[in-house]
Amino acid sequence: MADFNATFQKTLDILLEEKKYSSAKDILSTMAPEDVASVLQELDEKPAALLFRLLPKKIAAEAFVEMESDFQEKLIKGFSDKELTAILDEMYVNDAADIVEEMPANVVNRILSNVNAETRTAINQILQYPENSAGSIMTTEYVSLRLGTTVGQAINQIRRKGSDKKSFYTCYVTQNRKLLGRLSVKDLLLAKDDDLLIDDLMKTNVISVDTHTDQEEVVQIFSKYNFMALPVVDKEQNMVGIISFDDAIDVMEDETTEDIEIMAGMTPSDKTYLRTSAFSLFKHRVGWLLFLMVSATFTGMIITNFESALSQLVVLTAFIPMLMDTGGNSGSQSSVTIIRSLSLGELGFSDIGIIIWKEIRTAVLCGIALSAVCFAKVMLVDRLLLGNTDVSAMVALVVCLTMTVTVLVAKVVGCTLPLFAKKLGFDPAVMASPLITTIADTLSLLVYFGIAKFFLHL
C-alpha cells in the first residue's frame, strides 16, 4: 500500500504541476475515502485544500473524518463558513463529536456555530459522557420503528431516512423511547406479507449497553455476538444511540495499540509513528526508561551485598545473566498471557486460584526441562569444553536449582500482578514485560545467592 501511495503521489504531483485539476479530481473520486485522506495529507497545505474543495461532498466528508487532527485543523482554518457547514452536514454526529473533541476552543466554537441546533445538541450530548465510555463513541443516528408498524411501512421508512443513518441493517423497535425489540432489514425483506406487524417479527431479547459502559466491554460484546450494531441506553433504559461495527473496530485497534505501547514501557500516543516528532517519542518513552533504570538499583544493591560471597567463588558471576534473563522471560510469558485473557474477558480476579495452580504446574514442567538442559550445558560446555575447573557438579546443581525456583516464582508473580492491577482499577498492561522483568531480576538474584550460600557454605 505504501508503494501504491508513493506511485500515486508522483502522478498527482505531475497533474497539479500541469494544473490538470479535473483529472486529479476524477482519480481521487474513484478512491476509498481512507486512501484519499492518506494522499492529501502528504501534499502541501495549499494543493491539498484545493483538491479537497474539488471532491464530491460525501467523499470529502468521509475523507476528512479519516485525517489526522492537526491536518483537519489546517483545513478548517482555510474553509469559509459555507464550506465548513457543507462538510459537517455530510458527517455522522459521532464523527463530528470526535473532531470537536480534538480541536482547540476557537475551532470548536466555529464548528458548533456552523451546525444546526439539533446536531449541536447531539454533539454536546455525546461529549458529556466520560472518555472511553459507550456514550462517547455512540451515534444518535439510527433507525427507530414504532410498535404497530407494518413491514411495508418499515421498508418505506428505511428508504426515506436510511441514507442519513449510520447503520440501517439493524432496526430498533421503541415505544416512548423505551427499547422493546430489534429486527434486521433481512427480516423485513423476507417477510411473507407487507401488512404483517413488526411486533410479530422483532426479537425481544435485545442486548444493550449503558452509556457509561467501558468501551473495552463494548468491544468484547461485539466480538462475542458478531453484531453489526449495538444499542446504547441511559439509566432509565431509554434508547439514546447505537455503536456501529466500524466504530467498535476502531476502538479495538486503539485499545490494542495502547496495550502494546504500555506493555513495551511507553506512554500511549494517539498519533501514527511517522507523524510523531522525535521529541514526542522521547516524552512517551523516557519516563518508563528512567523508572526502570532507577529500579535496577535494587539488583545492584543485592549483588553488592553478596560481593564477599561472590569473591569466594567468582565463577557464580558468570551465570547471573542467564538466570536473570530466564526469570524475566518466564514472568513475561505468564503476564502477557494473562493480560490478553483479561482484555478478552476470559478471566477475572475470581479465577486467581485456578490461574496460580495452572502456572505452578507449568512452571514445574518448564523448570525441570530448563534445568536438565542447563546442567548438561554447564558440565559439558563450561567445565569440559572451556576447561573451567571451578565449575563443579555442586555449582551446576546450585545453578539448576536456582533456575527451577526462579521460573516458578517468576511465573507466579507474572500471572498475579496483572490480576491485582485489574482489581485495583489499573490497566493490567502496566504489569507487562519491562516491569515484570525488573521484578523477576531482583527475585532471581535473591534466590540464587540464597541457594548458593546454603549449598556452597559461602
- Indicate the SS3 state at residue 166: coil
Domain endpoint, select from 107, 134, 161: 134
CB-CB contact of 344 with 259 (8 Å): no
Give the contacts of 122 (CB within 8 A, at least 6 positions apart): 93, 97, 140
Domain interval for residue 296: 276-456
Domain endpoint, select from 81, 115, 134: 134
CATH number at residue 112: 1.25.60.10
- Indicate the SS3 state at residue 437: helix
Question: What separation, in Å, do the N-terminal and C-terminal C-alpha atoms of the chain show?
Answer: 62
Q: What is the pLDDT along the chain (458 residues), one digit of tens a residue?
A: 555 566 677 777 788 788 788 888 888 888 888 888 888 888 888 888 888 888 888 889 989 998 888 889 888 988 888 888 888 888 888 888 988 888 888 888 999 998 888 889 989 989 999 988 999 999 988 999 999 999 999 999 999 887 777 778 899 999 988 999 999 999 999 998 999 999 999 999 999 999 999 998 898 899 888 888 999 999 888 999 999 988 898 888 888 777 777 766 677 776 776 667 788 878 877 887 787 777 777 788 888 888 777 777 888 888 898 999 899 889 888 988 898 888 777 888 999 999 999 999 999 999 999 999 999 999 998 888 888 888 889 999 999 999 999 999 999 999 999 999 888 888 787 776 677 888 888 888 899 989 988 888 86
- Is 269 contained in some domain? no
Pairing of strands 167-175, 142-146: parallel
Q: Tell me, yes or no, whether 122 and 40 share the same domain.
A: yes
Pairing of strands 239-244, 229-233: antiparallel
pTM of the model as a whole: 0.70
Total number of domains in the chain: 3
What is the spatial distance between Cα 140 and Cα 162, in angstroms, rounded to a whole number?
13
Instruction: Tell me the one-letter amino acid at 276.
Output: T
Q: Tell me, yes or no, whether 325 and 298 share the same domain.
A: yes
- The distance from CA 113 to its chain's CA centroid, rounded to whole angstroms, is 33
- Is 238 contained in some domain? yes
How far apart, in Å, are the Cα atoms of 158 and each of 124, 151, 152, 161, 185?
Answer: 27, 11, 10, 5, 9
Closest residue by Cα to residue 245 from 170, 344, 339, 325? 170
- Indicate the SS3 state at residue 169: strand
What is the spatial distance between Cα 321 and Cα 162, in angstroms, rounded to a whole number?
64
Domain endpoint, select from 250, 266, 285: 250
- Residue 403 grid coordinates: 533456575
